[in-house]
Amino acid sequence: MASTASNKLVAAQDDVAHRGARRTENRQKAAELAPTTDAQGLVEFACECMSGDCERTVRAPLYVYRRLLDSDQYLLQAGHHAFTSYRTIVQLGLMRIEERA
Ligand SMILES: [Zn+2]
């Protein structure tokens, strides 16, 4: 059925939009002068995976996330999704930074 393929395409576009929205949200948080941190000084960011229904958060040091924003080739993830086109370069507990291969 043609509609199945187009539904998949729409779902994929939703996922890309979702990730873009997460990145925008995280970028705004990282741009704050004094974002809320936990006892270890970590800031809670949203997982930047492609899954539209993922609501997981990832705690990362602010300076690490700011460095990650400097380049377009990194994603912050909650450690539960693997991308074939990305490789994991940093993993600390549930925090995982992936680099575009
Ligand atoms: Zn996720």
Residue 93 CA to ligand 1 center (angstroms) comes to: 15
Residue 83 vs residue 61, higher pLDDT: 61
Residue 98 CA to ligand 1 center (angstroms) comes to: 12
Residues 55-60: contacts with CB under 8 Å, at least 24 apart: 56/80, 58/94, 58/95, 58/96, 59/94, 59/95, 60/95
Paired tokens of 36: 């809320």
Residue 96: which pLDDT band, with cuts at 50, 70 and 90?
A: very high
Residue 2 has pLDDT above 60, yes or no: no
Q: Would you list the domain boundaries of the chain?
A: 2-100
Residue 54 CA to ligand 1 center (angstroms) comes to: 5
**pLDDT per position as a tens digit, 31-53:** 998 899 999 999 999 999 878 78
Paired tokens of 98: 């992936």
Residue 9 CA to ligand 1 center (angstroms) comes to: 20
In whole angstroms, give the CA distance from residue 95 to residue 15. Answer: 21
In whole angstroms, give the CA distance from residue 89 to residue 96. Answer: 8
Residue 71 CA to ligand 1 center (angstroms) comes to: 20
